[in-house]
A and B are shown apart, each in its own frame.
Chain A
Amino acid sequence: MTMKSRYGFETLSIHAGASPDPATGARSTPIYQTTAFVFDDVDHAASLFNLQTFGYIYGRLTNPTTAVLEERIASLEGGRGATCTASGHSAQLLAFFPLMQPGDEFISSRRLYGGSITQFTRTFQKFGWKGVLVDADDPETVRKAITPKTKAVFCESLANPGGVISDIEALAKVAHDAGLPLIVDNTMATPYLCRPIEWGADLVIHSTTKFLSGHGNAMGGAVVDSGRFDWAKDDRFPSLCKPEPAYHGLTFTETFGDLAYTIYGHAIGLRDLGPTMAPMNAYLTILGCETLALRMQRHIENAQKVAEYLDGHPEVAWVSYAGLPSNKYRALAQKYLPKGAGSVFTIGVKGGYQAGVKIVESVDLFSHLANIGDTRSLIIHPASTTHRQLSPEQQVAAGAGPDVLRLSIGLESIDDIIRDLDQALAQASRLAA
């Protein structure tokens, strides 16, 4: 079934999933701040627990406010359904959970948010899951890393901390040739700039904490299923295509067709792992989604100007922004992110670690913190913060070496953003002199 909507992106951003509240007619989505929902009778309860009817049971699995956000994000990504989670990190956990058994592996691009590298290679080990990180710039490297234990291929469309763009179509082909799904983290691009499902991705995940909520005020994550991957084509995904003991032998793919993955995400993933998005955060993220297109337009416009300014600055060794003509990912940016290459990128400062530290301590408008995708401009020194759990080699491989600063360009007046960086760079320059 095609999920291509006849409505435009901005219309979907505002309306998808959010018809007037059926109970009250409230036009804005109400915050259903409740943990549980009453059953009509014992039979109704049994039907709900058996997944035989649609409906709400308990807030750990589903919530009407969160459901609006789930449908909104699924719609913006062109997916079949979505499962929202408490954070982007738990979205990754929930994305892999239906696919992996102890002893299984997945292949991931090594250019990832530092926290994801730690989660994939350290914490997932405790489940017996092995995240194999490779240089995915060459899709053949990914192909060669695939083994009979591999269950998925993973990349970030626009990779954190910045500047790197994955060749989604090529990676989808490598994954599909091996009968595997491609999972794409689309947090940094957002569906406004890039829709990975249209390039062959099977699952898309988000940290909604970033651009989707957009205001730096609500934690959350989402797993979007394209509905296109055939989980039952062989025995590789027993959670989805074999009888599930926790539901009396129900087989998800047989009973729910292309809804199977998303129902599993709620009925098993959220039920038994528990990383549920709070309804209040769902509401704030719904609010954020309504202005996503407008915000992203200004984010990329400001980011392009800041990147061009920094590219010509004597204290700056390099700027890793795919919107610059000299960038090695420029061609991929034009293919996958034609509107703009996002608003998060990295720069290298000539003065190295000390200059980096001086700059983050000298800015007045930029906020020195560990987040991206806020209305506010943000700055961080990844080597000492977000990527500090990694070895020096891993830091460099992830694009987070000691001289690197990550910028997330906000929506302030462009002259003020540049003036703030200019004065901070001048202070770093005086330090070196």
Chain B
Amino acid sequence: MTDTSVGAAEDRHASYPDALIKSLLRSVKTIAMVGASPNWNRPSYFAMKYLQDKGYRVIPVNPGAVGQEILGEKVYASVREIPDKIDMVDVFRASEAVPPIADDAIAIGAKVLWMQLGVRNDAAAETAEKAGLTVIMNRCPKIEYGRLSGELGWHGFNSGVISSKRRKI
């Protein structure tokens, strides 16, 4: 039984090898979170707080919240304005809003373009991949981190991980 919600059977974005996700989560240090919300009960705030707790630096991007700080980090209007080196751009925006963000991610030399659960734009993905970025779509880095580290299993979820080794990301 396969899920039909994300494209055809040969769709290489329908699923990602655990090894790929793990290597991305290990190599990335700094994340630009586009669509980060200052409102604590928004999903992006949850993800940002969790990723900070795991040691990532997360820099919020939200034109509507410029001049504020979210979880101790200054908010920028766009990815291109961030002075720091960004490894990954994480997109909490509607799928149709992704193409200019992908262009920004390419322009600043990010290695990874990550689109959140429910966010998918194949054209933007192709553009980013041609520029050498690794693209993940329709996933949440918080959930993937939790799944692969075993934390998701704390809440009864099927991580899909079978291992006789102690877990670590």
Q: Which residues of A pack against B, CB within 8 Å?
A: 1-5, 7, 11-12, 15-17, 19-22, 25, 27, 47, 50-56, 62, 64, 66-68, 70-71, 74-75, 78-84, 197-198, 228, 247-250, 254-255, 257-259, 262-263, 265-266
Q: Of B20-28, B103-111, B155-163, which binds chain A?
A: B155-163
Say yes or no for B53: interface residue by CB 8 A criterion: yes
> How far does the Cβ of A271 sit from chain B's closest Cβ, in whole Å?
13
Whether A70 touches B156, Cβ cut-off 8 Å, given contacts A19-B167, A55-B151, A257-B140, is yes
List of B residues within 8 angstroms of A54 by Cβ: 50, 146, 151-152, 154-155
- Please pick, from B41, B155, B160, B167, the residue contacting A62 in the complex, using a CB distance under 8 A: B155
Q: A16-B162, A20-B166 are in contact. Are A64 and B50 (CB under 8 A)?
A: no
Query: What A residues does B41 contact at CB under 8 A?
Result: 50, 247-250, 255
Can you list 11 A-B pairs, Cβ within 8 angstroms, ordered by A? Answer: A5-B160, A19-B165, A22-B166, A22-B167, A50-B46, A54-B155, A74-B158, A197-B1, A247-B41, A248-B41, A250-B41
Q: Beyond A12-B162, A257-B140, is A1–B154 a contact (Cβ under 8 Å)?
A: no
A52→B162 contact, CB < 8 A: no
Q: Per a CB cutoff under 8 Å, which of A19, A20, A53, A74 touches B156?
A: A74
Nearest residue (CB) in A for B2 is: A2
- CB within 8 Å for A53 and B162 given contacts A2-B1, A81-B156, A82-B156: no
Within 8 A of A (CB), among B16-66: 40-43, 45-46, 49-50, 53
Closest approach, in angstroms, between the C-beta of B116 and any C-beta of chain A? Answer: 9
Complex Cα distance, B143 from A258, in Å, reads 11
Query: Could you say which residues of chain B place their CB within 8 Å of the CB of A3?
Result: 158, 160
Q: From residue B169, how far is it (CB to closest CB) to chain A in Å? A: 12
Please tell me which one of the listed residues B3, B152, B156 contacts residue A83 in the complex, with CB atoms under 8 A apart. B156
Chain B residues, CB < 8 A from A50: 40-41, 46
Instruction: Compute how far the CA of A52 lies from the CA of B151 in the bound complex, rounded to whole angstroms.
Output: 13
Task: Identify which of B15, B143, B151, B166 contacts A2 (C-beta below 8 A).
Answer: B15
A51 vs B159: C-alpha distance when bound (angstroms): 18
CA distance A79 to B157 in the complex (A): 8
B94 within 8 A of A: no
Q: Are B154 and A64 in contact (CB under 8 A)?
A: yes
> Distance (Å) between the CB of A27 and the closest chain B CB?
8
Chain B residues, Cβ within 8 Å of A80? 157-158
Instruction: Pick the 10 closest A-B CB pairs, nearest first.
Output: A70-B156, A54-B151, A74-B158, A81-B157, A257-B117, A255-B43, A198-B1, A71-B153, A15-B162, A52-B46
A12 and B163 alpha carbons, distance in the complex (Å): 11
Instruction: Check A19 against B154 for contact (C-beta < 8 Å).
Output: no
Kindly report which residue of chain B lies nearest to residue A249, judged by CB atoms: B41
Known: A22-B167, A71-B159, A198-B1. A51 touches B46 (CB 8 A): yes
Whether B49 lies near A47 (C-beta < 8 A) is: yes
Contacts of A81 in B (CB 8 A): 155-158
**Nearest B residue to A266, CB-CB:** B155
10 other A-B residue contacts (CB within 8 Å) besides A52-B46, A54-B152 = A4-B2, A20-B164, A22-B167, A47-B49, A52-B49, A54-B146, A74-B158, A80-B158, A228-B3, A266-B156
By a CB distance below 8 angstroms, the chain A residues around B140 are 257
Chain A nearest CB: distance from B38 CB in Å? 14
For B6, list chain A residues within 8 Å (CB): 1
Q: Is the Cβ of B143 less than 8 Å from the Cβ of A19?
A: no
Q: Are A262 and B50 in contact (CB under 8 A)?
A: no
Report chain B residues within 8 Å CB of A62: 154-156
Report the bound CA distance from A47 to B47 in whole Å: 11
Residues of A within 8 A of B164 (CB): 15, 19-20, 27
Known: A50-B40, A54-B146, A75-B158. A67 touches B153 (CB 8 A): yes
Closest partner residue, chain B, to A267 (CB atom): B155
Interface string of B73-87 (1 = CB under 8 A from A): 000000000000000
Does B118 make an interface contact (CB < 8 A)?
yes
